Amino acid sequence: MSEKNDESGALPGELECPRCKGKLLPHTLEGIGVRVCADCAGLWMGSEQFRDALKKPPPQAMEESSGSGLRAALWEESGLRCPVCNLPMSKGHYAYSSGVIIDRCQTCKGIWLDRGELAKLRAFAHKPVPRDRLLMAQMQAQTLKRRAQARELAQTREMSGGVSLGQILKLIRDILS
């Protein structure tokens, strides 16, 4: 008999808070199933619920809040254990520059947020993208496209025995004339 995950992405039954060892209680947060610690108010949710939660607007008081400076996005062992798998979770800065460190389980993909972190993440996720970052992203996309085109051209040359595309087109023009 297999156990079925609940709406928070966790297995049914009592779960223990990875931070303070309190009870994680099932809760519906703005239509999203999560588990909330009765003692420290931390949140446990599955990765799908996390994505859905980030789409919701931040509290009005958080909208003007600015994230802290850039930090490395290194994932390392967090010291917290997953309430579902009981395996060590990883911690790291969400989206490199959000200023919020989240804990996640690499096995079940569950995510632990300490009290107040969801509001900070929502504020970060709903911030308008600065024009210079948008331009940089567009330039990076163009560079990737050009690299892909160059690889494709190199493969075409290799398949044609080293003959360039220009030489092939000239040969076709000569044949047709």
pLDDT in tens, 158-176: 776 766 777 778 888 888 8
Q: Is the pTM of this model over 0.75?
A: no
Same domain, 90 and 23: yes
User: Distance between CA atoms of 31 and 145, rounded to whole angstroms?
Assistant: 40
Domain interval for residue 157: 131-176
Same domain, 36 and 101: yes
Q: Does 65 reside within a domain?
A: yes
Q: Does 8 reside within a domain?
A: no
Same domain, 115 and 150: no
Per DSSP, the three-state class of 29 is strand
Same domain, 120 and 172: no
Q: What is the pLDDT of residue 124?
A: 87
pLDDT tens-place string over residues 65-124: 444 433 333 445 568 899 999 999 988 888 777 788 889 999 999 999 999 899 899 988
